[in-house]
Structure formats: structure tokens, C-alpha cells
């Protein structure tokens, strides 16, 4: 996918990037249907309407979800919601403010939100890298922000020649007409190479770039976590010349001038030998102290496969295992995008959920398959359960109903699904141990936000209402969740598993047949 910089400019945003409603609640309207008449899942995926029409997406949320807070995140620079893709992150602070950061304006800026009170989210700052493409964001436990940039981007005039009152413009990565950005006090006018950046939010209203570390390849993802007595910051890139992926493991330290990035090691995930020509894909990282083995484990998405690596010595990561659902004969047109390892053992078993990203519908299911792996032995992952959308859906755009990121609370997995909203999946029936059959899991509800906010310029990509790429559990007790809609801002909402919602039948699928050696490998419809 990335054979040259010009090709990358087109493909990065177009392939893997990653809309507005009433002031009232967006819970699904009650009906007189009998429980056997399962309507909510098919209603949430109904086609034949304008996907940019807010009213067409109201009242689709199931009754076990409830919106409790919303801010449209109208920025000073653009006078509208962030737009573009909606890659975002929310920190887990030991103390202090809970901060959210969202990528904005087709990857050219970030918007900072105070989420300390989920019922009253507030935008508190913005930073615009006017000449640099941002690909992903991560919020550190202390409330600073890590950024991965992909490359400098041409602008209509050098920064020094731009008058204070002169609008700035740029071409979107996907092409199209230039979008105008108003000059503000929150600009970063310096073109930056592919880098891992650390943004100091000691004053969230005035974000400042505190440190920068160059990286090879094209920047794709960034992760931050306080684990193993380190404040980790991991930047991930993809190679320009082959399918390798680089994981830059660093830690955040406090220097005399503020927070700094200290390199630890670089781990290179080489291409899967069955897919040596697989250039496009998603790369990302998660880190956890494995609750069974005590090892510090890195869970890496590496395009057509996942890799588990031992980080006990952070300066010399060692591969523990790989796993893929893509067979040798498959062209590799979907990616293993996201991982969510369980924090605790379940009756002595450790599980990790693995989700794909795909640009168009699969020919075997309405969307990609999310897997639950038994990772009790991190050297031998085994699939035990799977989920996909329970109803057919008509795709009218790239990535429109693809899974993206996930988060978990107790026995419920929450999956952001782009225009499909946030889906709840029941994990209570995940088999213990390693069963003979891979079990299909039930859908437990859907959240489809549709509040009112300024519509973006029509030239923005992904103007569907909604367009959700993230979901975060921010309060374990409720639980309370947060998601960022590209075109209507940030939402906080609760989930109540005691509210009964009719359960649709899982999609008619034998997931074992999709695995290499188990039948026809997963492919996408052309």
C-alpha cells in the first residue's frame, strides 16, 4: 500500500482513517413488539436512507444505553466539530483530570477535552500542526498527549510568509478541494518529519510540544500506559519499502524543561511469510502484566497477524507467538486491527479479544469477525469464541461498518463500528479453557449517537452520522463510557446490563471454517 510517498499520501487516509442530533436523549423509542420480534439490531443497520441525515439515525440506541453528556467540540480554528477521522484517546489518571484528545480536521490537529465530570464534558484546548499529518493520538496517565506524525505536508505558503490574519489552507490526504484553516494562537507552523511527539498539557488551553523523536517509515499508531513501573509511550510505523513494522518502545521521564521521551528499544515485526507482499495494514500496540505468567507482554497488531512479545527486558523485546485468521491463499485484504487483553483471569483462563478492520463487506459475514482468544499461555493463543454483526447490512462507503477499537467491562465487550455505532457483545458465555468448537457470541445492544452539532464542510471524508472509531470505559462502577463522533463531538453514556434487551440470533456462521486449515479462508467481496 505504501510503495512511495505520493502513493502513501493517497492511501493512508483513504484506507484506514480513521455526524449530529437533537438535544434530547438518543435512547431507542419503546415499542409494542413482542420479545421474539427482534427489531433493534436490524433497525440500527437499516439501509435505504441518507447516512448523513441526523434524523434518520435518531432513536436507534437500545434502552440499556443512556446518554449523560455531550459537547460538540466546536473549534476556534474551524468553527465546527473536529470532522475528518475521529481517532482519539482518554487517559486513566491516578489523580487529577481525565483528559480526552481527538484527532481533528482530517488529521491536521488535535482537540483537548476535560472528561473529569462525564455529565459535563468540555473542550479546553486545541493544537493544529498546520504543515504536518497527524495519524494517531494517545493520552498519558499524567494527562499529556503523545502524537504520531506521518510526514510533512505541503501548504500554500511557507509559515514565515503567512500573516497573522491570513487563512491557512491545505489539501486533504484523500484529495479534493483545499480546506481553509483560520490562523489561531494554537498553531504549530513547523513542518515535522515522521515523529513521535509529546505534547505538554500542564496548561491544557495552551498545548506545547515538549519533545520529538524521529522514526523510520510512516507513522501509524501511538500507545501510552503506566505499567511495569514505567510510563510507556509506544510509537508504531510501517516500512516504506516492505511489509515490516517498527515498534518504538519509549518511556516518559520528567526533565528540567518538562516531560521528555526516553528511547528503550525498537522491535521490528517482519512480514508474515504467507503475506510477504502485504504492504498495507494497521499497526498498533498494547502492554499488560500478564495475570497468569507475570510477564510484561506487548500485544501487537501487525497487519495480517498479531504478535505477542515479552517486554520483561524492555531493551530487548522477544517474540512469544503469532496468530492470524488469514490463510496462506488469502490476499490479506483485512487487518487484525485491535486487541483488548482481559485484566483478570476468568476461572484460571486468560482471554484476549482481537478485532479486524476491513474496507468493504466480507463475503462470509456482514462485517469482519471479532475473536476471543485463550491467551493463558501467551506462547500459544487459541480461538474460543467469535462475533460479527447479527444482521445483513448494505455498505455504501469504505470502512462504513467495520470494527475498529474495543474496550471491556465485566462480561460486556464494547466495539466501535464506524457508522454502525458502538455495539455491546455478551462475553458471559465465552467457553472456559479450549473447547472443540469456536462459539458465536450474542449481541447485547447498540449505541447510535445523533445529537445536533455543526455539520462539517462537505469536502470532509466520512460525513456519516455517526462515525465512531473509539470507545472507552471511563468509570467501572456505572459503567460509564466515552466515544468521539467525527462530526458531532464527544459523548459520555452509561450501560446497564440489568435492562433487558431482546437478543438477536447470532449470524449464521461457523467461525472455525474461517481459520487457516479450517475451511475457506476469510476473503472480501470484490
Question: CATH code at 91?
Answer: 2.130.10.10
Please tell me which residue, 3 or 279, carries the higher pLDDT value.
279
The mean predicted confidence, pLDDT, of the chain is 82
Q: What are phi and psi of 511, to 5 degrees?
A: -60, -25
What's the pLDDT at 92? 86
In a domain, residue 178? The reply is no
Q: What are phi and psi of 54, to 5 degrees?
A: -60, -45
What's the pLDDT at 328? 76
SS3 of 242, please? coil
* Nearest-angstrom CA–CA distance, 448 and 468: 9
In a domain, residue 171? The reply is no
What's the pLDDT at 461? 64
**For range 301-309, the mean pLDDT:** 93
What's the pLDDT at 85? 77
Q: Report the percentage of the chain scoring pLDDT > 70.
A: 80
What's the pLDDT at 460? 59
In a domain, residue 426? The reply is yes
Predicted TM-score (pTM) of the model is 0.88
Total domains in the fold of the chain: 1
Residue pLDDT, tens place only, 440-477: 999 999 999 988 877 655 445 678 889 999 999 998 88
What's the pLDDT at 416? 97
In a domain, residue 192? The reply is no
Q: Sorting pLDDT into bands at 50, 70 and 90, what band is 15?
A: very low
- Max mean pLDDT range (147-161, 212-226, 238-252): 212-226
Please tell me which residue, 79 or 72, carries the higher pLDDT value.
72
Please tell me which residue, 492 or 458, carries the higher pLDDT value.
492
Of the listed ranges 333-342, 371-380, 407-416, the one predicted with least confidence = 333-342
Of the listed ranges 205-209, 266-270, 308-312, 457-461, the one predicted with least confidence = 457-461
Are 182 and 76 in contact by the 8 Å Cβ rule? The answer is yes
In a domain, residue 525? The reply is no
Q: Sorting pLDDT into bands at 50, 70 and 90, what band is 26?
A: very low
Are 334 and 398 in contact by the 8 Å Cβ rule? The answer is no
Residue pLDDT, tens place only, 424-443: 999 999 988 767 789 999 99
Give the list of residues 6+ apart from residue 516 with CB closer than 8 angstroms, or none: 324, 325, 326, 327, 328
Residue 361 clears pLDDT 60, i.e. is over it: yes
What's the pLDDT at 236? 96
What's the pLDDT at 183? 62
What's the pLDDT at 457? 54
Residue 163 clears pLDDT 80, i.e. is over it: no
* Nearest-angstrom CA–CA distance, 470 and 485: 9
What's the pLDDT at 257? 83
Residue 421 clears pLDDT 80, i.e. is over it: yes
What's the pLDDT at 317? 97
In a domain, residue 362? The reply is yes
Give the list of residues 6+ apart from residue 83 with CB closer than 8 angstroms, or none: 104, 105, 106, 456, 457, 460, 486, 487
Q: Report the percentage of the chain scoring pLDDT > 90.
A: 54
Residue pLDDT, tens place only, 227-266: 988 999 999 998 876 667 999 999 999 888 889 999 999 9
* Nearest-angstrom CA–CA distance, 335 and 337: 5
Q: Sorting pLDDT into bands at 50, 70 and 90, what band is 225?
A: very high
Task: Give the CA distances from residue 442 to residues 166, 388, 445, 505, 506, in Å, rounded to whole numbers and listed in that order.
Answer: 54, 9, 9, 7, 6
Q: Sorting pLDDT into bands at 50, 70 and 90, what band is 180?
A: low
**For range 143-165, the mean pLDDT:** 66
In a domain, residue 83? The reply is yes
Residue 81 belongs to domain spanning: 5-114+132-152+214-324+333-514
Of the listed ranges 67-76, 121-130, 231-240, 427-436, the one predicted with least confidence = 427-436
Strands 218-227 and 296-302, bridge-based pairing: unpaired
Residue 301 clears pLDDT 60, i.e. is over it: yes
What's the pLDDT at 394? 93
C-alpha cell at 131: 504543515
What's the pLDDT at 278? 60
Amino acid at each position: 500500500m505504501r510503495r512511495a510517498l505520493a502513493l502513501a499520501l493517497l492511501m493512508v487516509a483513504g484506507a484506514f482513517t480513521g455526524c449530529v442530533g437533537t438535544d434530547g436523549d438518543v435512547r431507542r423509542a419503546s415499542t409494542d413488539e413482542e420479545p421474539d420480534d427482534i427489531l433493534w439490531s436490524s433497525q440500527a443497520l437499516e439501509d435505504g436512507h441518507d447516512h448523513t441525515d441526523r434524523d434518520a439515525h435518531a432513536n436507534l440506541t437500545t434502552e440499556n444505553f443512556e446518554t449523560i453528556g455531550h459537547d460538540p467540540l466546536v473549534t476556534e480554528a474551524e468553527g465546527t466539530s473536529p470532522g475528518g477521522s475521529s481517532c482519539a484517546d482518554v487517559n486513566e489518571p491516578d489523580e487529577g483530570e481525565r483528559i480526552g484528545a481527538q484527532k481533528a480536521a482530517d488529521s491536521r490537529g488535535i482537540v483537548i477535552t476535560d472528561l473529569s465530570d462525564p455529565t459535563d464534558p468540555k473542550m479546553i484546548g486545541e493544537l493544529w500542526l498546520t504543515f504536518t499529518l497527524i495519524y494517531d493520538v494517545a493520552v498519558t496517565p499524567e494527562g499529556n498527549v503523545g502524537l504520531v506524525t506521518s510526514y510533512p505536508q505541503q501548504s500554500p505558503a511557507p509559515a514565515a510568509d503567512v500573516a497573522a490574519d491570513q487563512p491557512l489552507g491545505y489539501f486533504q490526504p484523500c484529495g479534493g478541494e483545499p480546506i481553509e484553516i483560520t490562523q489561531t494562537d494554537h498553531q504549530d507552523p513547523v513542518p515535522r518529519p515522521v515523529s513521535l511527539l509529546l505534547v505538554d498539557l500542564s496548561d491544557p488551553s495552551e498545548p506545547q510540544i515538549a519533545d520529538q523523536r524521529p522514526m523510520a517509515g510512516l507513522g501509524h499508531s501511538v500507545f501510552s500506559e503506566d505499567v511495569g513501573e514505567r510510563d510507556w509511550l509506544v510509537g508504531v510505523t510501517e516500512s516504506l519499502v516492505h511489509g515490516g513494522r517498527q515498534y518504538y518502545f519509549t518511556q516518559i521521564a520528567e526533565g528540567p524543561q518538562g516531560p521528555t521521551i526516553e528511547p528503550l528499544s525498537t522491535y521490528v515485526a517482519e512480514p508474515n511469510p504467507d503475506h510477504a507482499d502485504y504492504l498495507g495494514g494497521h499497526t498498533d500496540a498494547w502492554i499488560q502484566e500478564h495475570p497468569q505468567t507475570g510477564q510484561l507482554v506487548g500485544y501487537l497488531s501487525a497487519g495480517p497477524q498479531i504478535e505477542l512479545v515479552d517486554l520483561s527486558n524492555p531493551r530487548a523485546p522477544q517474540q512469544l507467538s503469532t496468530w492470524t485468521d488469514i490463510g496462506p491463499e488469502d490476499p490479506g485484504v483485512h487487518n487484525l486491527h485491535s486487541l483488548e487483553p482481559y485484566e483478570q483471569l476468568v476461572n484460571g483462563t486468560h482471554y484476549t479479544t482481537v478485532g479486524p478492520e476491513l474496507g468493504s463487506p466480507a463475503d462470509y459475514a456482514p462485517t469482519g469477525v471479532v475473536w476471543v482468544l485463550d491467551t493463558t499461555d501467551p506462547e500459544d493463543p487459541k480461538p474460543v469464541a467469535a462475533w460479527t454483526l447479527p444482521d445483513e447490512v448494505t455498505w455504501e462507503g469504505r470502512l462504513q461498518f467495520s470494527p475498529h477499537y474495543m474496550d471491556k467491562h465485566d462480561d460486556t465487550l464494547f466495539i466501535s463500528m464506524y457508522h454502525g455505532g458502538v455495539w455491546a457483545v455478551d462475553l458471559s458465555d465465552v467457553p472456559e479453557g479450549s473447547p472443540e468448537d469456536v462459539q458465536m457470541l450474542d449481541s447485547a445492544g447498540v449505541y447510535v449517537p445523533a445529537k445536533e452539532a455543526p455539520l462539517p464542510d462537505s469536502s470532509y471524508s466520512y460525513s456519516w452520522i455517526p462515525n465512531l472509531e473509539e470507545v472507552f470505559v471511563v468509570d467501572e462502577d456505572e459503567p460509564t463510557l466515552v466515544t468521539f463522533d467525527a462530526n458531532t463531538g464527544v459523548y459520555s453514556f452509561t450501560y446497564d446490563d440489568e435492562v433487558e434487551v431482546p437478543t438477536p440470533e447470532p449470524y449464521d456462521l461457523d467461525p472455525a471454517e474461517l481459520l487457516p486449515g479450517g475451511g475457506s479462508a476469510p476473503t472480501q467481496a470484490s
